[in-house]
Structure 1
Amino acid sequence: MKAENQEPAMSFEEAMEKLESIVDRLEGGDVPLETAIDLFQEGMKLSQLCGGKLEQVEKRIETLLESGAEFQTQPFSAAQNDREDVL
């Protein structure tokens, strides 16, 4: 049963856009202190949401790698480091 005040799920892209908007407003410096605090708190929640979604994707990628007979599982961060070495 959903709580009535629960907001609908936000996509990663929507959360990132909203987070970027908040950062832009805060960097502008024209925000009253109370508003800045509220924006900061909202930004932290969005950051946690994005981090959680990235962790879910990482687990899905590792699961896909494990299911392939010719693939080996490796942590996502190590795979990312290998990619950066090639660039």
Structure 2
Amino acid sequence: MTHTFLEKGHTEFENDSIHATIERATRRLEVYTPDQWYTAVRAARVSKQLFKVKEMTAKDFVDFKSMSNNVSNLAIDDNGQKIMWSRTR
């Protein structure tokens, strides 16, 4: 079968190869706690520099649902200027 067009979901990003490496390395491991995942991910890469893992806690995450209750107008910023969402990064 030959595809001559880009198929949704069939693009490749750098993250894809990282995730595949981690999956292969941890396929036969029994992991019971997040702390074990940190170690497994760091050790997943053997031929290059180890993956850098940032250990996070619940404080590192934002509850956007509760935060969105405080937002009334998404088209205007705090200074009354129109927000150009297409230029926002």
By the TM > 0.5 criterion, same fold?
Answer: no
Q: Which has the higher contact order (CA 8 A, sep 6+)?
A: 1
If the length of structure 2 is used for normalisation, what is the TM-score? 0.23
If the length of structure 1 is used for normalisation, what is the TM-score? 0.23
Larger Rg: 2
